[in-house]
Amino acid sequence: MSGKPQIRVVAALIESPTDPTRFLVQQRLPGKARANKWEFPGGKVEAGEADEHALARECREELDVELTVGKRLWGTTHAYEDLVVVLELFAARIARGQPRPLGAQALRFCSFEEMRGLPFCEADLPLIDGLAKGQISAR
């Protein structure tokens, strides 16, 4: 073990309601770890919390939406300088509400190719590459 703290993070792959080739991403707030980087919506899983519950809670708190969480699509472990992130990605759709950036500085729906041009958190890079190449199914 590296001695670094480890956290479990869940993220949502949310398709645009008007374009099935675009998915919701958010830009992290300045002043936070990995400031200004882009990521998929979601957040930290609290102790004893199920992944799906954590994802719904985080999106309620940070986007002001109610999610329907679907199947797990992908997962990885990534070591940053300050911590180790265990990242799990789930298919999700917005059941109620319009996404608002309550816990981010910006939101946008992007294609996988557009995502490749944004400065994403390093843990998300293999995911974006796999989605863009069709190696990871978005459904």
Which spans in 1-136 are helix H?
A: 51-63, 112-116, 125-132
* pLDDT tens per residue, range 92-120: 999 999 999 999 999 999 999 999 999 99
Candidates 2.60.40.10, 3.90.45.10, 3.90.79.10, 3.90.550.10; CATH matching 6-132: 3.90.79.10
Q: For all residues of the chain together, what is the average pLDDT?
A: 95
Distance CA 129, CA 132 (A): 5
Distance CA 47, CA 36 (A): 27
* pLDDT tens per residue, range 46-65: 999 999 999 999 999 999 99
pTM of the model: 0.94
pLDDT confidence of 137, banded at 50, 70, 90? confident
Of 79-83, 84-88, 108-112, 130-134, which gets the smallest average pLDDT? Answer: 130-134
Distance CA 46, CA 48 (A): 6
